[in-house]
Amino acid sequence: MASRSSDLQCVWFKRDLRISDHRPLVEAANAGPVLAIFIIEPAVVEAPDYGEIHGVFQAQALRELDAALKKLGNRLVVRRGEAVEVLEAIRSEIGFQALWSHEETGNEITYRRDREVGIWAKNRGVVWTEISQNGVIRGLCDRDGWAGLWRERMKDAPLDAPIRLRERSGQLVSEEIPNKLSNREEGWVTETDMVGGEIEGRAVLDSFIEGRGKGYRKKMSSPVTAYDHCSRLSPYFSWGCLSIRSAVARVREAMGKSLPRADGNSFLSRCHWHCHFMQKLEAEPEIEHHCFNRACENLRPRNPDPERLEAWCSGQTGYPFLDACMRSLRTRGWINFRMRAMLVSFAAYDLWLDWRSFKDFLARQFIDYEPGIHFSQVQMQSGVTGINTLRIYSPVKQGRDQDPSGGFIRRWVPELSSLSEDQIHEPWLVQSGELKSLDIVLGRHYPRPIVDHQTAVKKARLAFSELRNMDEFWEEAARVNRRHGSRRPTEKRPKRRKKESAQQEFTLQ
DNA sequence: AGTGCAGTTGACTTT
DNA sequence: TAAAGTCAACTGCAC
């Protein structure tokens, strides 16, 4: 049995794989010798939202974290198993009464696990201290004052990494860190150049501040320029290799110097939005499975048309720019925000798929999958929040606007590469004789559009306008707005159309 | 140089 | 983080 007087401090690493700006680690180190652990939880890494790239990225970050801890005279103990059973095993092997970690705003699985760990800790007399690592405020019921609290959080200077970490993990066995945390395979060639780890994260931040960020504001819209000029820090934020606060501090410092003010401000407002969306999941975990606006719950069929879903997932919808974006995403694990919105818009409005039928697929593709942002976004781009106006993207217009020369399409949809700049956005408009002379047969080398955009969108709008005639929709919209709505006065929200009242009809004016 | 007209641009509204 | 429609102001051009 473990010694009851142990002053050993157990630091449980989760989605915070770094040593800088890591308050639990610093506080634990001040309180006693540190035992650093990471748990590979089957329930987490085998869940439908956990992708192959996540397993690789996290494994890279873990290896680097272990190396960093070793430099501080410590090490990382890695175990596989469900959290409570592993914590109990370690406690019985070495004994500790203090457990430290960051607050996590995760999916249902990690939320339930955290509650179980809480109960376990209480029963064992272990004091578990959870500390926030971003602008998400635990226990907030509505959005009044949130923006101010976020600013407060970002004011604090990031914490330095500890200089030394007293070690006392004894003979505790640590598993070898695998090359990836799960055996999941996407069946798609991935060639992402994003490598997990705190050092890599800092290098990415440096290159953004020192050059890539110039023109960020303008260049983030097109997938042609976004890959280089967006920060691409999101995976490092999601897996915790870099804290939001430390990126915010570095960007503020560089603004007006190596980074133009407009670009820096644009990046900072995105850091703000990052936490804004996570806060929604923190406040209402049900949004993983239910529409923000419950009146939208049965709007679309819950069972997807399998052929439509498959065409969308594999980049075979017949809309060249859309397919290019999907294929690029699946290969690189990342695409810019605007194109993510377009992909979801197409699934939701053109294909009339319920967001719940594609959210896990998309989550597995995004190397920067962050549950709170993801659930909010797929719902928002599907129009089921009730507090945002419908934003329906035209894949052809987006293609002409964001990839006018068609170069991005040619790269990711090579079967169309012989088409001209004008033809490539709408190959179905090209005479079949001319297509044939270029060795392209639609329906064989590349599909015809699986739906007609204009027709599909018209139908979708009609369904929404019917929904908006129901009182329940507006009651729900008011509730969502109270709980989650941004308090920015500029935000535009749909307004209920005035009913033609008798009074209005007969008012003479 | 002024006028009429078709076509363009931009701000704003609607869905 | 949309797109299409409306309307008025503007532009270029012919006469």
H/E segment holding residue A377: helix A371-380
Which amino acid is located at A494 in the chain? P
Burial class (CB in 10 A: 0-12, 13-18, 19+), A389: exposed
C-alpha to C-alpha distances, A501 to A306, A469, A473, nearest whole angstrom: 45, 15, 20
> The tokens of A485 are what?
């709505």
At A502 the pLDDT is 36
A335 beta carbon to strand C: under 7 Å: no
User: A352 with A299: CB under 8 angstroms?
Assistant: no
pTM above 0.85, yes or no: yes
Q: What is the layout of strands, in order, in the sheet containing A127-131?
A: A76-80, A34-40, A9-13, A98-102, A127-131
User: A441 with A350: CB under 8 angstroms?
Assistant: no
Give the CA A420 to C1' C7 distance in Å: 36
Which nucleotide does the CA of A337 lie closest to, via C1'? C1
Which nucleotide does the CA of A393 lie closest to, via C1'? C2
Which nucleotide does the CA of A381 lie closest to, via C1'? C1
SS (H, E, C) A9-24: EEEEECCCCCCCCCHH
Burial class (CB in 10 A: 0-12, 13-18, 19+), A343: buried
Give the CA A398 to C1' C6 distance in Å: 23
At A248 the pLDDT is 97
* Spatial distance between the Cα atoms of A99 and A196, rounded to a whole number of angstroms: 25
At A170 the pLDDT is 86
Which nucleotide does the CA of A391 lie closest to, via C1'? C2
Report DSSP letters for A417-431, one per residue: TTS-TTGGG-GGGS-
A388 beta carbon to strand C: under 7 Å: yes
Q: Closest by alpha carbon to A350, among A448, A456, A447, A464?
A: A456
C-alpha to C-alpha distances, A24 to A21, A362, A391, A502, nearest whole angstrom: 9, 32, 41, 64
pLDDT in tens, A266-279: 999 999 999 999 99
Q: Which positions in strand B are less than 7 Å from the protein's CB atoms?
A: 15
Map residue A255 onto helix, strand or coil. Answer: strand
pLDDT in tens, A343-369: 999 999 999 999 999 999 999 999 999
At A141 the pLDDT is 83
Nearest-CA residue to the C1' of B15?
Answer: A461
A261-283 and A371-380 are packed helices; what angle lies between their axes, rounded to 10 degrees?
90
Question: Which residues make up the interface with nucleic strand B when CB must lie under 7 A?
Answer: A 389-390, 461, 465, 494, 497
C-alpha to C-alpha distances, A95 to A3, A91, A166, A246, nearest whole angstrom: 6, 4, 16, 34
A341 beta carbon to strand C: under 7 Å: yes
At A380 the pLDDT is 97
User: A172 with A91: CB under 8 angstroms?
Assistant: no
Cα dihedral A470, A476, A478, A480 sign: negative
Give the CA A76 to C1' B14 distance in Å: 58
Domains and CATH numbers, chain A: 9-132 (3.40.50.620), 198-283 (1.25.40.80), 288-508 (1.10.579.10)
Per the DSSP assignment, residues forming a β-bridge with A9 are: A34, A98
Give pLDDT < 50 ranges for chain A.
Answer: 1-5, 499-509
